[in-house]
Structure 1
Amino acid sequence: MSKFNRPAVRPAATSPVVTASTPTARTHEGGPGFARDAKSELFLLAVTNMVAEKTFYESADARDARFEALVGQVAVADPAWMLGFVGWLRKAANMRSASIVAAAEAVRARLATPVEEGPVTNRQIIGAALLRPDEPGELLAYWMCRYGARIPKPVKRGIADAAVRLYNQRSLLKYDTDGKGIRFGRVLDLVHPVAQSPEQAALFAHMHERMRGRPWSVDPDALPVVAFNATLRELAAEDPAGLLDADKLRAAGMTWEDALSLAGNRVDKARLWEALIPSMGYMALLRNLRNFDQAGVSDATAQQVAVRLADPAEVAKSRQLPMRFLSAYRAAPSLRWSYPLEQALGHALANIPTLEGRTLILVDTSTSMNGTFSKDGTLLRWDAAVIFGVALAQRCAEAEVVSFSSTARYWGDPHGALTKVFPMQQGESLLRSVERWKSGGWFLGGGTATAAALRKHFAGQRRVVVLTDEQQGVDTVEVSKSVPSQVPMYTWNLAGYERGHAPSGGQFRHTFGGLTDQAFRMIPLLERGVSGSWPWESMD
């Protein structure tokens, strides 16, 4: 009898997140824990790290310290990897604070190490993290609060490059506000960028005057948007009717926040929103759906908003995390937003593949997954797990979706699997499915009995996907050994803790992570025997 050449043979492939092959320590719940290499640990931490935010098992200080140490270690060992990582983290993963901290700490570690820069420069690493016009000030504020007023030259140069690239009339009016400790003019004073055109030179000069609060007059030929903004503000002080003109608002680069503040209660709110909406950005539209409804904007205007929300190009350009659409859906009282938000969420999850055969999808709804990603509490880890899990199930030929935790509610209780199968409904929208999950009692709470849940529900499926924080509790059988070794098991990590619940990197055991759909596209590639690389690198 053949030992290897059997009908069910599958090509093995490798993936970039790598762990030890055997347990090295314990998870936070006491189960066998698998240490990751530095790049893998950093990657999974970064793609779920909002910075300065505590998690269920880890304080904010401890989490940030671990992040900084990993960044420093990897930046010195492999600067090319770090450069690609920082750029991808900011753009594709849309992790703004994490990428700023990663860039700053990477450069600090490299400056403290007596090595030559080589082809990858510290200036490039800094620049890779800066994508929005307020981010040069963010990075400077982080550096000065941590390391003092002395700014190293590579940091200055990287920020100067970004200032030249990002600073224009409209970005000044939108982001240079009194609420910022480091204004645009202060950035210029600290890093000394060189203007690339007469218009930008005039703009830089105006930024200094604006920061110092000096009386100024703007040459409308040099800075027409800034000049018209000042004129419209003066006119609105006497007569706010000009704020109801969409063309004037756009020409003046007027933000919706400023327009609302200038208008006060002197104009009809619905008419004001209808004038503002044509020039509002995608994220601003998403945040204000409730306000549109409360003001009573017309159905015709709402339809314009709906078209933009559902536009795949707009969704891609906005780089919104999928959970933002769920938050908007829950906040908006009107049903007129439901379908465009469903379409937008579908576009944001475009990388989730169609999978043949049967798939077992386990969604961790233990108490630790009830933790928030940020202080406002609107986005929970188990919400993200449900979005990804149900979206994947909708694209599978056949899928069983199971919510799981542990029967152990208190320390010392017997440890077993508490599970509840979520019945998929043909044709149901993803947002409706997520809300049915919430209202129907599929958030279970308790501990994390991943291995027991696998043994309970595995029934010969072609693959297994587990969406979890990986903090498996004590079990007589390891997580990986609860599924046959030739069945691919994919772990989607949503917390970035130090140790994983299973080996990863090969032998049909792979771990991904993040708050976007980016890595899901690796599943069909791995099953075809194509080894996966880091997402900013090409597939082998």
Structure 2
Amino acid sequence: MINSTVKKQAASRGHKNHMNSKSHSIVDPIVQLRTVAASAFFGEPMYYQPESNTTDRSFVEKSHTPHKHAQYLDHIMNTELTIPEWHSHSPAKLMEVAIDEALDFDPEATLKEAVRLRREENIRTTPQVIMVRAANHEKVRGTGLIRQYAKGILARTDEAAVQLAYQIQVYGKPIPNALKKAWKGFLETRDKLQIAKYRMENRAFKTLDVVNLVHAKGEIIDQLMKGTLKLDETDSWEAMISKNGSTKNNWEKAIDSMGHMALLRNIRNFIEKGVSEDLYIKKLVDTAAKGKQLPFRYYNAHTQVKGIASARILDAIEECLELSLGHLPQFNGRVISLADNSGSAQGNHNSKMGSVKTSTIGNLMAVVTGKIADDGYIGIFGDNLEILPVRKKDSILSQVKKADKIGNNIGMGTENGVWLFFEEAIREKKHYDHIFVYSDMQAGHGGLYGIKPVEYSDYIFPKTGRHIDVPKLVNKYRKEVNPNVMVYLVQIAGYKDTLVPEFYDRTYILGGWSDKLLHFANEMNQNRNGQGNGL
């Protein structure tokens, strides 16, 4: 546990975020790792993080600071606040630092988090990086922890080769024995399809390289080593299509051996080849509940085929999204989700290959949150703010697309909409039981300029002149409107910033893109008398 002195320090200290504003770092390293890892893929670009360890940035948020104030504010912020070293890290380095800090703090809790990320959040690469860094960490060597947690972290055959590649790239040789034993035991349990499908033959480090290194044994392993391991066309749909060609007849034959993810990703192929909808729609829907796909995958699929798909197909994708969310908790009372549609959120995508913006992910999760509330709302914010009721009988995706459209014209500043929300909620005594903020958390104390500063003079952060104190706004709302309001800050871009201190009363730090974060929020709500720590 983190003692009260650390909590008190956490509540008071701050640093400059990428908007040159005051934000707070997350103190508990496990919470920090969970927040960063669940809301970004390892090594993928972030809006503010450079691709390499330099301070150059590809994008700069539009600033609305009057020119005559810029030099003064820069001087003030440089004397009052510091820029943490990690702000110049690449996305990969940022993740590595979070992992190492967690390992220093609690190695076993870190490995448990790796298992949770792999099995519950369905994140592939980051858990492998955690396991390799743990195996090389002085607090883990010789403890047996790698052996204990490897089975939960290694899931797909190629992940052993991913770990080997990372080990050689970062640490070189010798390779920890704990890793080699884990790889050997893992590979010896794989069946023919699992080995053949993930040979990694076009990569620098192949599954065969791992086999040779650890001396794995078995009939399938022997076939791999001799080069005789072959997949029959009946073994996998990929083998069938590869051997026989991408034709209507072959796709129809392949459907029986396709899982949910494969069906979802190949809807366009089915449509373009004229495959009968009767052959795949029912299976697509029936497998959604256990399909382990993040919600934004369905948004992406829907967007990709919208121009060529029938209403029946689009409805099926929507139904899959609903089913994939499983049994979500219900949030009582009035719930609002503030969704970041600022320049940083709209300028960042979830991966180099992905086409879904961070702002869309936030809008999607905000709509889902509103759906499971007694009375749910989404507040789309940037320079301005627009609040909409979330309709239970309207489709999730149609409401997300509406929010995206509004977000395109909401303004490029990060913070002002947050101020507008609290100002109106306090002034008009608008009661909310839960407030979610889905954001990259670059909204801090700086850059929050109202039209009439006299109206928010009670909320100006000391010595900044016009910068609004967000924790004080939350506190004022609790004093004036609802003392029991729960506030959940959800990091959706992988940064380590948050709007208020980690241990601020009844305020919880979460991260990620899946329905799991709503289960966490519900757990916090059930324990509302405790101090918030995001766990």
**CA pair 443-89 structure 1, distance change in 2 beyond 3 A:** farther
Aligned position for 2:73: none
Of 128, 142, 153, which aligns to 1:117? 142
**CA pair 394-90 structure 1, distance change in 2 beyond 3 A:** same
C-alpha deviation, 1:321, in angstroms = 0.9
What TM-score comes out, normalization by structure 2 length? Answer: 0.79
Give yes or no for contact 2:370–2:378 (8 Å, CA) kept in 1. yes
Aligned position for 1:452: 419
C-alpha deviation, 1:423, in angstroms = 4.5
Aligned position for 1:344: 320
Give yes or no for contact 1:437–1:443 (8 Å, CA) kept in 2. no
Aligned position for 1:260: 241
Aligned position for 1:286: 264
Deviations 1:219-277 (A, max 9, x none): xxxxxxx5xx45xxxxxxxxxxxxxxxxxx4xx31332x33332237xxx211111000
**CA pair 209-445 structure 1, distance change in 2 beyond 3 A:** farther
C-alpha deviation, 1:326, in angstroms = 0.7
Give yes or no for contact 2:377–2:387 (8 Å, CA) kept in 1. yes
Q: 1:429 aligned to 2:395?
A: yes
**CA pair 494-206 structure 1, distance change in 2 beyond 3 A:** same
C-alpha deviation, 1:27, in angstroms = 2.2
Q: 1:354 aligned to 2:330?
A: yes
Cα distance in 1, alignment partners of residues 161 and 356 from structure 2: 26
Aligned position for 1:183: 206
Aligned position for 1:241: none
Aligned position for 2:520: 522
Aligned position for 1:482: 473
Q: 1:462 aligned to 2:459?
A: no
| Ranges in structure 2 where 5+ consecutive residues have no aligned partner | 53-88, 449-459, 461-467
C-alpha deviation, 1:397, in angstroms = 1.7
C-alpha deviation, 1:400, in angstroms = 2.8
Give yes or no for contact 2:289–2:326 (8 Å, CA) kept in 1. no
For 2:196, give the aligned amino acid. Answer: L
Give yes or no for contact 2:295–2:514 (8 Å, CA) kept in 1. yes
C-alpha deviation, 1:52, in angstroms = 1.8
Cα distance in 2, alignment partners of residues 388 and 60 from structure 1: 27
**CA pair 519-138 structure 1, distance change in 2 beyond 3 A:** same
For 1:349, give the aligned amino acid. Answer: L
Higher alpha-carbon deviation: 32-41 or 437-446: 437-446
Of 172, 175, 186, which aligns to 2:195? 172
Give yes or no for contact 2:376–2:389 (8 Å, CA) kept in 1. no
**CA pair 96-532 structure 1, distance change in 2 beyond 3 A:** farther
**CA pair 105-432 structure 1, distance change in 2 beyond 3 A:** same
Give yes or no for contact 1:53–1:374 (8 Å, CA) kept in 2. yes
Q: How does 1:100-499 map to 2 (within 5 A)?
A: 100-110=128-138, 117-118=142-143, 120-165=144-189, 167-176=190-199, 178-193=201-216, 195=217, 201-210=218-227, 216=228, 226=230, 229=231, 249=233, 252-256=234-238, 258-264=239-245, 269-301=247-279, 305-311=280-286, 314-332=287-305, 333-334=308-309, 335-350=311-326, 352-370=328-346, 371-406=348-383, 418-425=384-391, 427-440=393-406, 444-449=410-415, 451-458=418-425, 459-473=430-444, 474=446, 475=448, 476=460, 477-483=468-474, 484-485=477-478, 486=483, 487-499=485-497
Deviations 1:338-395 (A, max 9, x none): 2222222112223543222212221110011120111023121111111110111122
Cα distance in 1, alignment partners of residues 116 and 523 from structure 2: 20
For 2:488, give the aligned amino acid. Answer: Y
State the secondary structure of the residue aligned to 1:471: coil
Deviations 1:56-81 (A, max 9, x none): 11124413223223322322432220
Deviations 1:402-455 (A, max 9, x none): 11012xxxxxxxxxxx11223544511101211232345556341211541332
Cα distance in 1, alignment partners of residues 392 and 260 from structure 2: 31
Q: 1:26 aligned to 2:12?
A: no
Give yes or no for contact 2:441–2:499 (8 Å, CA) kept in 1. yes
**CA pair 471-308 structure 1, distance change in 2 beyond 3 A:** same
C-alpha deviation, 1:184, in angstroms = 2.8
Give yes or no for contact 2:385–2:421 (8 Å, CA) kept in 1. no
Give yes or no for contact 1:420–1:442 (8 Å, CA) kept in 2. no
State the secondary structure of the residue aligned to 2:387: strand
State the secondary structure of the residue aligned to 2:98: helix
Deviations 1:314-340 (A, max 9, x none): 334331111111111111231222222
Q: How does 1:47-62 map to 2 (within 5 A)?
A: 47-61=38-52, 62=89
Cα distance in 1, alignment partners of residues 523 and 40 from structure 2: 27
C-alpha deviation, 1:529, in angstroms = 3.1
| Ranges in structure 1 where 5+ consecutive residues have no aligned partner | 1-13, 196-200, 211-215, 219-225, 231-248, 407-417
Cα distance in 1, alignment partners of residues 249 and 19 from structure 2: 55
Q: What is the total number of aligned residue pairs between the two structures?
A: 455
State the secondary structure of the residue aligned to 2:382: strand
C-alpha deviation, 1:41, in angstroms = 1.8
Cα distance in 1, alignment partners of residues 115 and 499 from structure 2: 29
Higher alpha-carbon deviation: 288-297 or 387-396: 387-396
Cα distance in 2, alignment partners of residues 493 and 19 from structure 1: 22
Cα distance in 2, alignment partners of residues 525 and 77 from structure 1: 24
State the secondary structure of the residue aligned to 1:20: helix
For 2:395, give the aligned amino acid. Answer: S
Percent identity (aligned): 23
Aligned position for 1:74: 102
C-alpha deviation, 1:22, in angstroms = 2.1
Cα distance in 2, alignment partners of residues 444 and 451 from structure 1: 12
Cα distance in 2, alignment partners of residues 380 and 26 from structure 1: 24
Cα distance in 2, alignment partners of residues 70 and 438 from structure 1: 31
Aligned position for 1:6: none
**CA pair 22-425 structure 1, distance change in 2 beyond 3 A:** same
Max Rg structure: 1
Cα distance in 2, alignment partners of residues 123 and 466 from structure 1: 38
Give yes or no for contact 1:355–1:396 (8 Å, CA) kept in 2. yes
**CA pair 434-88 structure 1, distance change in 2 beyond 3 A:** same
For 2:493, give the aligned amino acid. Answer: A
**CA pair 172-481 structure 1, distance change in 2 beyond 3 A:** same
**CA pair 44-351 structure 1, distance change in 2 beyond 3 A:** farther
